């Protein structure tokens, strides 16, 4: 657990600054069951441009299932996810074909996995990992791709001298930063993050969180971050949704939910934080 | 004069579900207003709910009844019922809050902690840093500390960084929770000066100050919070 309570230093910059009145993403009545087990039920919310939403709850609360549905990797049994495309048209993910969804995933969206090995190609160079996403959107000038990759490595505090090394030679924290660079190089508008600071040392977490916070506010990104760590939610998000047993039981401004929790389960979560 | 803050019958009760659902009434029938350029000081014994009222105005604590009207970009927003996005907008453009303690982010330099609200308001990094440096200097934080994260600072230094962060932006409402608590006389005087400058700029302020001398110097009006005490029902 990080001792990073940042009520007055939450990343308030992005939200609303350039926000359109139309939400970027709308989830309506999402539900998903596995046999008799309901992994998530009746989840509805709107995400606006520049907003960072944290989904918190313990293991098994349905937050990872929800993230998979929101990012189009899992089809819900009920409800829909709509996304406002770059051309301003809002589309229902279910009506897109596979090629359209893949294109969205490669360009306008990012997905940061807890395990960097899931989001990186471990055997190819760091430069190629970052460059690959650029090539996928049509860049083909080798020198320019390499320059862009170099500048992104610097942005995530990886020495450009390591550009030709494969991520399997990197430490856990470096791999996670490389994964973030790979995701952000195409300038996505929405990034999904699944326990982004998961298996990292506390000191490495602090550095990563600070970096993510800066990038999110500088780029005006929207993000949906799944985390069981309330300190991560406090530091990164504007709003929080608390999940329990597949349902959203409490939602609001992050500092409001964490400082004035209403629901019994939220009070339990907040009171369970060990003081550092 | 149209008030900047207009609170009517606001109330707050904590329900502690982990302690058998015990209800802790905090305040009830909170009603007062604050005009531009005016500093209202909340008075009353500790535990009377002064900080809770500030937190309710900032949208940090939820309000269980009544209204908290705040003038925001020409309209009135009721913080008690506003959506999270609206409250974020109010915090960006209208209300600044100087809390009792600095909640610092690891690794961020003091000067950037102070400059951040200006960056959020669209000021360039150079100008924001220059203004942050000038304010830190005024509050007697030596320049060699500016590049260090405030988590390594003494309590009084941290509080001055916090004050600088709160006073740097040009927001029309400022909430001050014990801004001078751990400061020496010289720095208390700087804070009194800063408050006076904000008044001249038309900023509406609500403050909690235990130091009688500082209270006397900054208060235009006292609001006695004891009269809002919510008796246990």
Report the alpha-carbon distance of residue A9 to residue A19 in Å, rounded. 20
Nearest chain A CA: its distance from B48 CA (Å)? 17
Question: Is the domain of A170 the same as that of A73?
Answer: no
Report the alpha-carbon distance of residue B218 to residue B216 in Å, rounded. 6
Strand order in the sheet with A78-84: A37-47, A25-34, A78-84, A90-92
Question: Is the domain of A56 the same as that of A83?
Answer: yes
Question: Is the domain of A202 the same as that of A218?
Answer: yes
pLDDT band at B28 (very low <50, low <70, confident <90, very high): very high
Q: Is the pLDDT of residue B226 over 60?
A: yes
The two tokens of residue A56 are 């918190």
What CATH number is attached to the domain comprising A259? 3.40.50.300
Give CA separation, B204 vs B37, B80, B176, B199, in Å. Answer: 5, 19, 11, 7
CA proximity to A130, closest of A172, A102, A158:
A158
Question: Is the domain of A176 the same as that of A209?
Answer: no
Burial of A87 (0-12, 13-18, 19+ CB in 10 A): exposed
Nearest chain B CA: its distance from A143 CA (Å)? 30
pLDDT mean over A123-143 = 92
Report the alpha-carbon distance of residue A257 to residue A252 in Å, rounded. 6
For B199-222, the pLDDT digits (tens) are 999 999 999 999 999 999 999 999
Helix (H) / strand (E) containing A227:
strand A222-227
Beta carbons of B120 and A238 less than 8 Å apart: no
Domains contained in chain B, CATH given: 1-94+171-233 (3.40.50.300), 104-166 (no CATH)
Beta carbons of A210 and B17 less than 8 Å apart: no
The predicted pLDDT at position A205 comes to 86
Q: Is the pLDDT of residue B193 over 70?
A: yes
Question: Of A159, A187, A215, which residue is a domain's last?
Answer: A187
Question: Of A187, A206, A239, which residue is a domain's last?
Answer: A187
What ipTM describes this predicted complex? 0.90
For A29-60, the pLDDT digits (tens) are 999 998 888 899 999 999 999 999 999 998 88
- Answer whether A250 touches B (CB < 8 Å): no
Q: What is the largest CA-CA distance in chain A?
A: 56
Among A129-138, B102-111, B222-231, the least confident range: B102-111
- Answer whether A259 touches B (CB < 8 Å): yes
Considering only CB atoms, which chain B residues are within 8 Å of A276? none
The predicted pLDDT at position A16 comes to 40
pLDDT band at A7 (very low <50, low <70, confident <90, very high): very low
Give CA separation, A246 vs A63, A75, A219, in Å. Answer: 7, 16, 32
Q: What is the torsional sign of CA B213, B214, B217, B218?
A: negative
- First-to-last alpha carbon distance for chain A, in angstroms, is 7
Provide the CA A253 distance to its chain's centre, in angstroms.
Answer: 18
């Amino acid at each position: 657990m990080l001792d990073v309570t940042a009520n007055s230093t939450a990343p308030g910059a992005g939200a609303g600054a350039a926000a359109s009145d139309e939400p970027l993403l709308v989830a309506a009545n999402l539900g998903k069951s596995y046999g008799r087990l309901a992994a998530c039920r009746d989840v509805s919310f709107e995400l606006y441009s520049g907003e960072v939403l944290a989904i918190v709850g313990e293991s098994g609360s349905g937050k990872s299932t929800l993230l998979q549905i929101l990012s189009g990797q899992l089809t819900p049994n009920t409800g829909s996810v709509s996304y406002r495309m770059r051309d301003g048209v809002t589309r229902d993910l279910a009506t897109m074909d596979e090629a359209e969804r893949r294109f969205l995933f490669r360009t306008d969206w990012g997905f940061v996995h807890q395990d960097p090995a899931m989001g990186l190609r471990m055997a190819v160079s760091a430069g190629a990992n970052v460059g690959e996403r650029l090539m996928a959107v049509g860049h083909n000038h080798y020198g320019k791709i390499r320059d862009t990759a170099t500048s992104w490595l610097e942005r995530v505090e990886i020495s450009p001298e390591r550009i030709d090394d494969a991520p399997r030679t990197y430490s856990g924290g470096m791999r996670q930063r490389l994964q973030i660079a790979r995701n952000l190089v195409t300038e996505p508008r929405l990034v999904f993050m699944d326990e982004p600071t998961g298996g990292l040392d506390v000191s490495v977490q602090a550095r990563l969180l600070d970096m993510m916070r800066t990038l999110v506010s500088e780029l005006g990104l929207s993000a949906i971050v799944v985390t069981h760590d309330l300190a991560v939610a406090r530091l990164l998000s504007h709003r929080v949704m608390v999940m329990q047993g597949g349902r959203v039981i409490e939602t609001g401004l992050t500092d409001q939910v964490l400082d004035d929790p209403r629901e019994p389960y939220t009070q339990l979560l907040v009171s369970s934080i060990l003081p550092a | 004069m149209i008030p900047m803050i207009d609170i009517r019958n606001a109330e707050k009760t904590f329900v502690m579900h982990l302690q058998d659902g015990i209800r802790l009434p905090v305040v009830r029938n909170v009603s007062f207003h604050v005009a531009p350029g005016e500093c209202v000081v909340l008075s009353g014994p500790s535990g009377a709910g002064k900080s809770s009222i500030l937190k309710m105005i900032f949208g940090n604590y939820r309000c269980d009844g009544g209204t908290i009207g705040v003038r925001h970009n020409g309209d009135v927003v009721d913080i008690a019922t506003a959506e999270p996005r609206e409250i974020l907008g109010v915090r960006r453009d209208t209300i600044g809050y100087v809390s009792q303690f600095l909640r610092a982010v690891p690794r961020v330099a003091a000067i950037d902690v102070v400059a951040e609200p200006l960056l959020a308001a669209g000021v360039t990094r150079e100008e924001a840093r220059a203004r942050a440096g000038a304010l830190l200097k005024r509050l007697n934080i030596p320049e060699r500390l500016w590049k260090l994260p405030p988590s390594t600072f003494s309590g009084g230094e941290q509080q001055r960084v916090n004050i600088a962060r709160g006073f740097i932006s040009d927001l029309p409402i400022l909430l001050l929770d014990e801004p001078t608590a751990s400061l020496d006389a010289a720095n208390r005087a700087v804070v009194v000066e800063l408050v006076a400058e904000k008044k001249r700029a038309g900023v509406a302020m609500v403050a909690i100050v235990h130091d009688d001398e500082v209270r006397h110097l900054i208060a235009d009006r006292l609001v006695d919070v004891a009269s809002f005490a919510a008796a246990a029902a």
